[in-house]
């Protein structure tokens, strides 16, 4: 988890990957469900059908071992559609131009072939998360 539990209540979007919070961290699972009831968008990226998939806006059910391609595809869409936080990037990151070069080939269609996730779902998830 990259944020505190208390920050979930104010989240606009929540991305879960490689975790099953309702089973492994019931308090966090409860707070995620509460945030969704209060309007947060939920994206689950997991090959499994975990319980939170049932309340997710998008389930990115990728083939095992293809998660890096999936996340590169999400970043590709965010950059291509100019949805990134430019001020944050300018002030708090290094090597952003390198990232742009790396993800340039990870179009939704290309990522879909690798991961098995429909291109439309990749685009939708990227827009929700951005």
pLDDT in tens, 44-97: 999 999 999 999 999 999 999 999 999 999 999 999 999 999 999 999 999 999
Q: 77-116 burial by CB neighbour count: b if 16+ within 10 A, else e?
A: bbbbeeeeeeeeeeeeeeeeeebeeebeebbbebbbebbe
Number of H helices, E strands in the chain: 7, 3
Between 52 and 2, the higher pLDDT residue: 52
Q: What is the pLDDT at residue 100?
A: 97
CB 14 within 8 A of CB 42: yes
Question: What is the rounded radius of gyration, in angstroms, for the C-alpha atoms of the chain?
Answer: 15
Q: What is the pLDDT at residue 4?
A: 85
The region of weakest confidence among 2-6, 36-40, 115-119 is 2-6
Sorted by sequence, the CB contacts under 8 Å of residue 26 that are 6+ apart come out as none
Find the helix or strand (DSSP H, E) in which 119 lies. helix 119-129
- Domains of the chain (ranges plus CATH)? 7-60 (3.40.228.10), 66-129 (no CATH)
Q: Residues 68-80: pLDDT tens digits?
A: 999 999 999 999 9
Work out the burial of residue 10: count CB atoms within 10 Å of its CB; fewer than 13 is exposed, 13-18 middle, 19 or more buried.
exposed
Q: Residues 113-125: pLDDT tens digits?
A: 999 999 999 999 9
* Bridge partners, 14 (sequence order): 42
| Global confidence as pTM | 0.93
Q: What is the pLDDT at residue 47?
A: 97
Residue 1 has pLDDT above 90, yes or no: no
């Amino acid at each position: 988890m990259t944020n505190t539990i208390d920050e979930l209540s104010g989240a606009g979007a929540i991305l879960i990957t490689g975790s099953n919070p309702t089973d492994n961290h019931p308090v966090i699972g409860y707070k995620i469900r509460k945030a969704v009831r209060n309007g947060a968008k939920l994206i689950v990226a997991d090959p499994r059908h975990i319980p939170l998939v049932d309340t997710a806006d998008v389930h990115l059910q990728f083939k095992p071992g293809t998660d890096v391609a999936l996340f590169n595809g999400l970043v590709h869409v965010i950059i291509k559609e100019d949805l990134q936080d430019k001020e944050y990037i300018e002030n708090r990151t290094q090597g952003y131009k390198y990232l742009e070069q790396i993800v340039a080939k990870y179009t939704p269609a290309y990522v879909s072939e690798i991961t098995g996730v429909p291109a439309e779902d990749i685009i939708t998830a990227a827009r929700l998360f951005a």
